Chains A and B, each alone.
Chain A
Amino acid sequence: MVSELPFWIAYVSILVTCVIGFAFGLYNCCTVLNIDTKQLPVQQEDKAEGEEREKITNANIEAMNLTAEKIQSVNILLILRELLPF
């Protein structure tokens, strides 16, 4: 007859470890959720830097539009060349 005591010791130790692990996870969760996002000052962006960035963004958008138009015109020409017999 095999004694069941070692099995029960293992079961109880596993359960206790699980409870401790779960409590640690909940503690971490509460620590993260307790961070107040309203009290910290938000980083203010420099006005000149913001304007410069906006200029660069606008220039990039214009360049992309031009490239897109070029690609479209090339595609239309290619399609016409494929479709037309001459």
Chain B
Amino acid sequence: MIHEYVYMSIFLVVFGAILVLIDPEYKFYTAMAFIIGALTSLGSGFIGMYVATRANVRVTYLAATVQNDPARPEVKLNLYQAFNAAFKGGCSMGFCLVSLALFVLTILIIVYNGKNLFNIYFIIFIIYFVTNIYT
């Protein structure tokens, strides 16, 4: 994970510099949108990996344990609880990632709105989401 983040940081710096060089009109804003999008995506990825690895351990453990429920003696395995844990583990990653991405995008739009840069919205949107998908 550390290696991945080191390589991503190098890519961020290099591609940010390229964006500054190839976009003379809005170079600062484009590069900022790219870097903020990448950082948000890195944070989302960290949360996702943290939750996914721990949730998988718990799902496996629940699926391999016997349920001692006197009300339902016919149910031997904890598959119901295991499915719930798996569903919630995936759900938390999805919700955190999407809400974080949309939150930062809205904040970017609000900040850039004050500078009357209406025509840059589309560029921000594309760069932000391409960065998110890439990372």
Give the size of the chain B interface in residues (CB under 8 angstroms).
33
Give the size of the chain A interface in residues (CB under 8 angstroms).
25
Given contacts A18-B102, A18-B103, A25-B91, contact A40 B61 (CB under 8 A): yes
B88 surroundings in chain A (CB, below 8 A):
28-29, 31-32
Answer whether residue A14 sits at the interface, using C-beta atoms and an 8 A cutoff. Answer: yes
A40 surroundings in chain B (CB, below 8 A):
61-62, 65, 78
Answer whether residue A42 sits at the interface, using C-beta atoms and an 8 A cutoff. Answer: yes
Answer whether residue A3 sits at the interface, using C-beta atoms and an 8 A cutoff. Answer: no
Contact yes or no, B62 A15, CB < 8 A: no
Main secondary structure of the interface of B (DSSP, over half): helix
Main secondary structure of the interface of A (DSSP, over half): helix
Given contacts A40-B61, A43-B64, A43-B65, contact A25 B92 (CB under 8 A): yes
Given contacts A32-B85, A40-B61, contact A25 B103 (CB under 8 A): no
A22 surroundings in chain B (CB, below 8 A):
95-96, 99-100, 103
| Tally of A-B Cβ pairs under 8 angstroms | 83
Question: In chain B, residues 44-98, which have Cβ atoms closer than 8 Å to a Cβ of chain A?
Answer: 47, 51, 54-55, 57-58, 61-62, 64-66, 68, 77-78, 85, 88-89, 91-96, 98
Q: Which of A15, A28, A42 has the most CB of B within 10 A?
A: A28
Give the complex CA separation of A25 and B97 in angstroms.
9
Q: How far is the CB of A73 from chain B (nearest CB, A)?
A: 42
Ranked nearest first, the 9 interchain pairs of A and B with the lowest CB-CB distance are A25-B95, A21-B99, A29-B92, A28-B92, A18-B103, A25-B96, A22-B99, A28-B88, A18-B99
Using a CB–CB distance below 8 Å, which chain B residues touch chain A? 47, 51, 54-55, 57-58, 61-62, 64-66, 68, 77-78, 85, 88-89, 91-96, 98-100, 102-103, 106-107, 109-110, 113
Q: 12 pairs across A/B with beta carbons < 8 Å?
A: A11-B110, A17-B99, A19-B99, A19-B103, A22-B99, A24-B95, A25-B92, A25-B93, A29-B89, A32-B58, A32-B88, A33-B58
